[in-house]
Structure 1
Amino acid sequence: MVDYNYRMTVVVQTPQGEVKGSAVWRLEGWKIERSLTGYSSSDRLTGEAVMVDLPNGKTIFLLLGGELCGFKQYSLNLPEGERFICKGEFDEYVKQIEDIFARNEVIETWSGGTNKLVYFDDLKNPASVKEVDKENMSASFGEGYRLKAIYAQPTKDPVTTGIEKKLVWLGKFPEPSLDPNFKSSMDPTLSQTLTHGDFKYSRN
């Protein structure tokens, strides 16, 4: 069993200076023994999207997803270019997680992270969601906006709560689509592919 919290932080350069936001996520992973196939593993991520308020009045959100070892990250505390990738059998995976905690490791995830970065034209309208190009934030917000870093660090702080104050429409499981009128489509929009669970997931 592996059970740990880590703080995800997003740093953005704006025309008015640097701004950042963070949120604590919790990952639980466990090994399931099977008599015929050996074992399989499963995990569960709880928490809420990282929010960063920009000086132009918009808020960007780093969506839930991935985990500390799954990004093909490199460690800020390792020599330049050396990659830190958790892999191997489950017991070895747990050991690598424990090693990260022991070093209080900071993990840069910007280049390898799969998490989407999004914003809303209208925070009250979930269907108005748009994706931000991590490599070219100025395309969404104009000159002077640039993603500087996304990084993770183990923490003993509790999982972050309160995103509903910003996204008042957020619901609970079964996590409907952001487009309330969604019907099956061969070419779904972003709002049709995202669910409430991409912004918040808890066991409660």
Structure 2
Amino acid sequence: MSITARPRHRRKTAAALLLAMAFLLPGCRLIGLYNWSWNQELELTVITPDGEISGSSVIRASYGFRPEWWGWGDRGRSIIAHSGEAAFVEVASGRYLFAIMSENDPAMAYETFIGPITTSREERIEGFDRLYRLRETRALPRELYPTLVTFRDINDPASVEKVDPDNLEATFGPGYRLASIEIAITSNPKSSGRIIRVIPWTKEYQSKQLDGNRYETIKSNNRFANSLASGFFTTESE
């Protein structure tokens, strides 16, 4: 009896279904697919001339990896994702401080609560199992701070500028100081719908950079704005 090879398109479909199972069935490990998802909250606290003020946001973060037989090397097997909105705080009337989101968000939580992410598959499995079960708040280590930004004109995406976390006065004036950034693994629901009330133009910039260019390019006259798009502030479509 001869054995007929499975058509390539069927193998690809089966692989896609296995990957989907990793997210639909967290912790499903029988076929070597690992995935952890948790809600993490970032809170910014700023000292202003009028006192202390805070703002926070909860995102959904995920980390996982495909089985070793999947190929592409260890980095190619990693599955990293997040959804939600960037944390922000109104430090003065019409002036906001944002901590933009990035693919480092899951690693930020792991390194704060567990330690450095090692190359050991077994240690990562143990570490993410611990992180997934945590409900705890800690000060975010300085070396893990996300990029902080503001807008000179909140209605003009191209006016975005980076903020030095160690020198808020350079951006906002005398009396402004970043008191802390805290991170929590929480049961609170993912934030949604708040940031769009502050920067309603985000939907227009889902397919272009904040400087208005369609793609990121070294030819842009505003390289920082060109390096950002609305996805750094919200993954929500509404």
TM range (shorter): 0.7 to 0.9
| Residue aligning to 2:171 | 140
Q: Please, which of 88, 97, 100 is the counterpart of residue 51 of structure 1?
A: 88
| Residue aligning to 2:135 | 104
What do residues 67-105 of structure 1 show as CA deviations (whole Å, max 9, x unaligned)?
243478556xxxxxxx83343434532432332454523
Superposed displacement of residue 22, structure 1: 0.4
| Residue aligning to 2:30 | none
| Residue aligning to 2:101 | 64
* Residue range with higher mean Cα deviation, 94-103 or 6-15: 94-103
Report the RMSD for the aligned CA atoms in angstroms.
2.7
Q: 1:185 to 1:11 in 2, by over 3 A?
A: same
Q: 1:10 to 1:198 in 2, by over 3 A?
A: same
Residues 51 and 61, structure 1, Cα contact 8 Å, conserved in 2: yes
Residues 71 and 112, structure 1, Cα contact 8 Å, conserved in 2: no
* Residue range with higher mean Cα deviation, 162-171 or 35-44: 35-44
Q: 1:186 to 1:21 in 2, by over 3 A?
A: same
The structure whose residues are more often helix, as a share, is 2
The structure whose residues are more often strand, as a share, is 1
Asked if 1:164 is matched to 2:201, the reply is no
What do residues 84-143 of structure 1 show as CA deviations (whole Å, max 9, x unaligned)?
334343453243233245452323225012521111111111011111111111000111
Q: 1:6 to 1:36 in 2, by over 3 A?
A: closer
Please tell me the residue identity of whatever aligns with 2:209: S
Superposed displacement of residue 57, structure 1: 3.2
Superposed displacement of residue 21, structure 1: 0.5
- Residue aligned with 1:158, SS: coil
| Residue aligning to 1:78 | none
Q: 1:172 to 1:5 in 2, by over 3 A?
A: farther
| Alpha-carbon separation, structure 1, partners of 2:36 and 2:204 | 25
What do residues 132-185 of structure 1 show as CA deviations (whole Å, max 9, x unaligned)?
111111000111111111121111111111111111101278542011146733
Give the TM-score, by structure 2 length.
Answer: 0.72
| Residue aligning to 2:160 | 129
Q: 1:70 to 1:51 in 2, by over 3 A?
A: closer
Identity among equivalent pairs (%) = 25
| Residue aligning to 1:80 | none
| Alpha-carbon separation, structure 1, partners of 2:109 and 2:219 | 29
Residues 9 and 22, structure 1, Cα contact 8 Å, conserved in 2: yes
Runs of 5+ consecutive residues of structure 1 not aligned to the other structure: 76-82
| Residue aligning to 1:179 | 211
| Alpha-carbon separation, structure 2, partners of 1:164 and 1:103 | 30
| Residue aligning to 2:69 | 35
| Residue aligning to 2:55 | 21
- Residue aligned with 1:112, SS: helix
Q: May I ask how many residue pairs the two structures share in their alignment? A: 197
- Residue aligned with 2:161, SS: strand
Runs of 5+ consecutive residues of structure 2 not aligned to the other structure: 1-34
Q: Quick one: higher RCO (CA 8 Å, sep 6+), 1 or 2?
A: 1
- Residue aligned with 2:226, SS: helix
- Residue aligned with 1:201, SS: coil
Please tell me the residue identity of whatever aligns with 1:69: A
- Residue aligned with 2:153, SS: coil
